[in-house]
Amino acid sequence: MTLKAKMIVDKDFAISEIDNRIYGSFIEHLGRAVYNGIYEPGHQSADESGFRSDVMEMIRELQVPIVRYPGGNFVSGYNWEDTVGPKELRKRRLELAWRVVETNQFGFNEFVDWSKKANSEVMMAVNLGTRGADDARNLIEYSNHPGGSYWSDLRRSHGYEQPHNIKTWCLGNEMDGPWQIGAKTATEYGRLAVETAKVMKWVDPTIELVACGSSGLGMPTFPEWESTVLDHTYDHVEYLSLHQYYGNQENDTPTFLARSLQMEEFIRTVAATCDYMKAKKRSKKKMLLSFDEWNVWYHSNAADSKREPWDIAPPQLEDIYNHEDALVVGTMLIAMLKHSDRVRMACMAQLVNVIAPIMTSNGGGAWRQTIFYPYLHASLFGRGKALVPLVQSSKYDTKEITDVPYLESIAVYNEEKSEVTIFAVNRHLEEQLPVEIDLRSFGECSIIEHIVMENDDLKAVNTELEPNRVAPHNRGNASVDGSTIQAKLAKASWNVIRVKV
């Protein structure tokens, strides 16, 4: 079979203006994400607040627009009051989600300070596991109310005269999961979420809220969960969340690389459920989606199952990512761009050490994992309008997923910079894929660069000693004639073709 693919891109066929917040990420109090990740007083690169500046630089390089905090599963046992005020008075707590000891030496205000330095907004989650509306209204009063009340004046006494004005709030985390502290049925959660939403917005009507959708496509309660939760919350929230992780436990790479098609199906089904509820409610509001946890996660499962409890900041969920994982991350980013009319926020889970693009060693260096690169490229060059990808491509079947196109791609038009960027993955593991890209409506074009991530070893990884084993180069072979681009995409590769239009 001769492999080939063709893509037509037209500036008049836009999916949507991309909301930059889809390049968000996530810091949970889990493992070494906070302690010895973003925060390590005593480290040679630590600033006056104890924030690691080597890590901070890499995060700034990624231009992360929003960071979710403090969990994840952690938030369902979170007592935020333990984390503010003088550090010497802060309580150590048994943290039940990940069975460690939490010292609370890094808390809510420190995270707000850190985010400012990282040039990121905060997406703050409230505890709807062990707590509820009362706690959430206190936290938002502490955070966003200017002053003249008990909690806002407490914040001022802690040295924060101005309110934090956090705009985006998650109503709990994965409340459908039996592993969650205080897990709930959809009705229990829906009722709690709506009552919490009401009081939070009474304190600060300018905030936006995210209700919990299912913890993944495979949950037995999906999509009934979405429908019941929205029945209660539709008029009170702006976003519904999606979470999804993939792994290659079976070492079946063709299937692993095709998982993004299931991710798209997930997004379509959740959007359809939202629209059903919109009709049922006779509402004018379009419910938006927040894909606030997504990534590859499986390499660390075995090590984590052997860990003893009650350490402080032990290594947990420390996946070491290989080349094929970076390709999957690339296809997941493309999947979200294809649905950028609905998916308005997303968080790569997570940012440092815990299933993360950035790794550190305690007292040592910081380095970029393989998945850092597609995330970086999408964040830097994927801003503008997503254009409808009309793709014809040779296809393959796996036992589980059929009609998988070898070419996965999307184009983004940045009108201000007069640039089109094509993100493309060649899923073929053995052969290069000849691709023609027809940019007919753009006139004469020229190639700015063709970035490629390729590797003969799908399992190649970066380490502290060998941090650049898997890294992109910009010697790709894309060429242009008028407005038609020709490229031969290397086998198993991630490509970024930047075009001046």
Which tokens sit at 187? 């009705």
Instruction: Give me the catalytic one of 174, 238, 419, 454.
Output: 174
Token pair for residue 24? Answer: 């968000």
Which of 18, 22, 28, 420: binder of ligand AHR (CB under 6 A)? Answer: 28
What distance lies between CA 263 and its chain's CA centroid? Answer: 13
Task: Give me 131's structure tokens.
Answer: 């707590």
Note if the bond before 72 is cis, omega within 30 degrees: yes
* Binds ligand AHR by CB under 6 A, chosen from 144, 168, 173, 322: 173
319 forms part of the interface with ligand AHR (CB under 6 A) = no
Nearer to ligand AHR, 72 or 77 (CB): 72
Of the candidates 172, 113, 116, 105, which has an alpha carbon nearest to the alpha carbon of residue 139? 172
Q: CA 283 to CA 306: how far, in whole Å?
A: 50
For 295: left if phi > 0, alpha if psi spans -120 to 50, otherwise beta; the answer is left
Expressed in angstroms, the distance from the first to the final Cα of the chain is 34
Give the integer Cα–Cα distance in Å for 213 and 289. Answer: 9
| Separation between Cα atoms, residue 431 and residue 418, nearest integer Å | 33
Q: Which of 24, 31, 70, 71 binds ligand AHR (CB under 6 A)?
A: 71
> Minimum CB separation from ligand AHR for residue 124, in Å?
15
The pattern of x and - marking residues 188 through 227 that bind ligand AHR according to CB under 6 A reads ---------------------------x------------
Task: Between 293 and 324, name the residue whose CB sits nearer to ligand AHR.
Answer: 293
* 28, 110, 238, 293: the active-site residue: 293
Residue among 297 and 423 whose Cβ is closer to ligand AHR = 297
Least distance from ligand AHR to the Cβ atom of residue 218, Å: 12
Size of the site for ligand AHR (CB under 6 A): 10
Q: Residue 292, interface with ligand AHR (CB under 6 A)?
A: no
- Does position 72 interact with ligand AHR (CB under 6 A)? The reply is yes
- Show the tokens assigned to 171: 């109503």
- Span near ligand AHR by CB under 6 A; candidates 66-74, 227-235, 330-338, 486-494: 66-74
Q: Does 483 bind ligand AHR (CB under 6 A)?
A: no
Report how far residue 245's alpha carbon sits from residue 177's, in angstroms, rounded to the nearest whole number. 14
- 24 in contact with ligand AHR (CB under 6 A): no
Burial of 310 (0-12, 13-18, 19+ CB in 10 A): exposed
Nearer to ligand AHR, 353 or 393 (CB): 353
Q: What length is written for the chain? A: 501
Q: Does 349 bind ligand AHR (CB under 6 A)?
A: yes
| Beta carbon nearer to ligand AHR, 313 or 349 | 349
Strand order in the sheet with 493-500: 14-17, 385-387, 407-414, 419-426, 493-500, 446-453
β-partners of residue 68 are: 26, 123
Does position 174 interact with ligand AHR (CB under 6 A)? The reply is yes
Q: How far is the CB of 74 from ligand AHR (least distance, A)?
A: 6
Applying CB under 6 A, the span of 65-73, 101-109, 369-377, 392-400 interacting with ligand AHR comes to 65-73
- Binder among 25, 36, 73, 316 for ligand AHR (CB under 6 A): 73
Q: Which is nearer to ligand AHR, 28 or 81 (CB)?
A: 28
Q: Select 183 or 380, whichever has its Cβ closest to ligand AHR.
A: 183
Instruction: Tell me if residue 174 is catalytic.
Output: yes
Nearest residue (beta carbon) to ligand AHR: 72
Q: Which two tokens stand for residue 29?
A: 């109090």
- Decide the pairing of beta strands 66-69 and 407-414: unpaired
- Residue 80 class from Cβ within 10 Å (0-12 exposed, 13-18 middle, 19+ buried)? buried
Q: Which is nearer to ligand AHR, 22 or 75 (CB)?
A: 75
122 in Cβ contact with 21 (< 8 Å): no
Does position 70 interact with ligand AHR (CB under 6 A)? The reply is no
| Of positions 121, 293, 419, 454, contacts ligand AHR by CB under 6 A | 293
Cβ-contact 8, 331 below 8 angstroms:
no
C-alpha 434/C-alpha 327 separation (Å) is 18
- Contacting residues toward ligand AHR, per CB under 6 A: 28, 71-73, 173-174, 215, 293, 349-350
Give the active site residues: 174, 293
